[in-house]
Amino acid sequence: MRSSALSEGRAVRWMLVALAVGFLALFLVLPLLAVFSEALRRGVDAFLAAFTEPDTQAAIGLTLLVAAIAVPLNLVFGVAAAWAVAKFEFAGKSLLVTLIDLPFSVSPVVSGLVYVLLFGAKGLLGPLMDDWQFKIIFAVPGIVLATIFVTFPFIARELIPLMQEQGTAEEEAALTLGASGWRTFLTVTLPNVRWALLYGVLLCNARAMGEFGAVSVVSGHIRGLTNTMPLHVEILYNEYNFVAAFAVASLLAGLALVTLGAKSILEWRYGDSLARVHRH
């Protein structure tokens, strides 16, 4: 009885493993292989030529610029929000936590539409922006705002559970010994959460570079000016320029794989610390 039960359990485990591997192969590995194979279908020269186009270079530059602005701002917000939620009690704390989670429950397209209703030509603040001659919608500022909105939960949500579990004992001890609040943060709080912080930054950066829905609404799809890489892929594909479309898509896929690799390294080397982050 014991051997049959064990063999049955082993068979079930192998079946589940096979099912998981098959699912990943069908919905993850095969699409990635298709992207890279289509990008290289006409050879390496055609693949590299896709990146010499001015519009493609502008899309890559804009994507990196938006990520370079959105990720540091979300880093500051995420650390500040997590520190406030985990270390202090104040009125409106539950509301702050709810607002942090808001982008997870709102469609990116809806969030982009909100910015259009606020800052568009006929929006609530549109006439004021026109008076100041400051353009937000169909310009880089709108893309940055939309990207910040959809990505700001990632860092805060990685830090809050870990900071709550660590408590305030170490900070209180440092303050008792005469350390200032800023020095306590730099020498006690930040080192304790550094790997969770890096983990959150990786996820935030990946989402910032790959965001499509919110950016699509506020960008205006102006080639060479407001098209990020995901939007540029769509335009190239709709124009039947498949090699160029898949070439740019392969760059996005490569960035995603690098992020996944860095994430896996963090989980392997600092798995215990990161496990505490996700335990809640």
- Digitized pLDDT (tens) for each residue of the chain, 280 residues in all: 455 544 557 788 888 888 988 988 888 888 889 999 999 989 999 999 999 999 999 999 999 999 999 999 999 999 999 988 988 888 888 898 999 999 988 999 999 999 999 998 888 888 888 888 888 999 999 999 999 999 989 999 989 988 888 888 888 888 888 888 788 888 888 888 888 898 899 999 999 999 999 999 999 888 889 999 999 999 999 999 999 999 999 999 998 888 888 877 877 766 655 555 455 5
State both tokens at 192. Answer: 């304790």
Instruction: Please tell me the predicted confidence (pLDDT) of residue 89.
Output: 84
Max Cα-Cα span within the chain: 82
Give me the pLDDT at residue 264, please: 78
State the pLDDT at residue 16.
87
Return the pLDDT at 273. 55
Q: Is the dihedral of CA 92, 98, 100, 102 positive or negative?
A: negative
Cβ 245 vs Cβ 236: under 8 Å: yes
What is the model's pLDDT at position 7?
A: 52
Cα separation, 26 vs 28, whole angstroms: 6
* Its pTM surpasses 0.75: yes
197 CA to centre of own chain: 13
Predicted pLDDT at 199: 86
Cα first-last separation, the chain: 39
CA distances from 132 to 123, 125, 127, 211, 237 (A): 15, 11, 9, 29, 37
Please give the pLDDT value at position 275. Answer: 56
pLDDT of residue 1: 47
Report d(CA 1, CA 24) in Å as an integer.
Answer: 35
* List of residues 6+ apart from 159 with CB closer than 8 A: 78, 79, 82, 83, 86, 193, 196, 197, 200, 277
